[in-house]
Copies of this chain bind each other. A is one copy, B any other.
Amino acid sequence: MKFLKIPAATITRLSLYTRALEGLVVEQVTVVSSKRLAELCGVNPAQIRKDLAYFGQFGVRGVGYYVKELLFDIKKILGLNKEWNLALVGVGNLGCALVAHENFSKQGYRFVAAFDADPMKIGRKLVTGLVIHPPNEMANICKEKQVEMGVIAAPPNFAQEIANRFIDVGVKGILNFAPTQIHAPEGVRVENVDFTVKLDNLAYYLTAG
């Protein structure tokens, strides 16, 4: 059923399901119903079954889903059965936090390059041993290290320029932490992580009810 259009929200939820399933593996739970999994993830049980139905049949009627198998299958769907090479641009507080963040490496995301425009930072090593390079070396190094995803943790006014460099090297996925809209051509996926938007949301709901 891969040929019909899959909601973006479904993909996001699959990611949540893997989390819950990983928790269940730790608790040595072997079988889980859509009802139980739904409670853990805060969604509707039918939603889970629908989401999975886009990709095939993974459960056993009258029983539920085998935790390990389902986890394996979803990870495969998401493309998490491989390692992904990331490059970071902007090695400030946030950038350092990202490189050091263990959840990334745990899931198979690996920073293989780091860039910063600040001359003071170039040549310095990060905790992981990664050396900081100047932005004009992005093309060479990204090719050499086979970077597949770019992470932008630089100030907003540089974000588009950095994105362009990534796009030029053929990077097809960009994770943007800068609070600005990035324009990318068809075929390049941009995901935004935006703290202030989330805070603005809180502000609104706290103000208006």
Chain A interfacial positions (CB closer than 8 Å to B): 2, 8, 11-12, 14-16, 18-20, 40-42, 77-80, 84, 92-94, 96-98, 100-101, 103-104, 107, 109, 148-149, 172-175, 179-181, 183, 189, 191-208
Contact = CB atoms under 8 A, between A and B. Distances in A.
A98 to B, nearest CB: 7
A17 to B, nearest CB: 11
Classify the secondary structure of A's interface with B.
helix
Given A42-B181, A195-B98, A195-B104, A202 B149 contact: yes
Contacts of A202: 149, 173-175, 189, 191
A76 to B, nearest CB: 9
B149 A206 contact: yes
Given A41-B181, A173-B202, A191-B198, 17 more contacts: A2-B208, A11-B204, A15-B196, A15-B200, A15-B201, A20-B181, A40-B181, A80-B200, A94-B97, A101-B195, A104-B195, A104-B199, A173-B205, A189-B201, A189-B202, A191-B199, A193-B193
A168 B125 CA distance: 43
B181 A199 contact: no
A174 B97 CA distance: 21
Contacts of A92: 97
A96 B92 CA distance: 11
A101 B64 CA distance: 45
Nearest to A100: B93
A158 to B, nearest CB: 14
B78 A207 contact: yes
